[in-house]
C-alpha cells in the first residue's frame, strides 16, 4: 500500500475496530506496499497461538437456566 493510502486505511479500520487512527498509524508496520510484501512481512513476525471460544448469548432451547443446559 502506498504511503498516501495508509491513513485512509487506518481511518477505515478505526470505523470498524473502534481503535484511534493515531494508534493504528503508530502500531501497524507499514513497510510493505504490495500483497506479496505484506505476506513476507507477516512471515517475519513472531507467531503465537490466537484462539477463542464462540459461545451462544442465549440459553439452549427448552432450558430455564444455564445450569440445566445439556
Where in the chain are the domains?
A: 3-44
Count of Cβ atoms closer than 10 Å to residue 10 Cβ: 21
* pLDDT value of residue 48: 81
pTM for this model (two decimals): 0.49
* pLDDT value of residue 57: 58
* pLDDT value of residue 54: 60
Query: What are the angstrom distances between the C-alpha of 45 and each of 11, 28, 29, 48?
Result: 24, 12, 10, 10
* pLDDT value of residue 40: 92
Per-residue pLDDT for the chain (70 aa), expressed as one digit of tens each?
Answer: 777 788 888 888 888 888 898 998 898 888 888 889 989 988 988 888 766 666 655 555 555 555 554 5
Comparing CA positions, the residue from 17, 45, 27, 16 lying closest to residue 6 is 27
Amino acid at each position: 500500500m502506498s504511503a498516501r493510502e495508509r491513513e485512509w486505511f487506518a481511518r477505515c479500520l478505526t470505523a470498524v475496530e473502534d481503535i484511534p487512527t493515531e494508534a493504528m498509524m503508530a502500531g501497524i508496520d507499514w513497510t510493505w506496499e504490495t500483497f506479496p510484501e505484506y505476506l513476507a512481512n507477516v512471515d517475519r513476525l513472531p507467531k503465537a497461538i490466537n484462539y477463542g471460544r464462540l459461545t451462544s448469548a442465549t440459553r439452549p432451547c427448552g432450558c430455564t437456566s444455564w445450569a440445566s443446559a445439556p
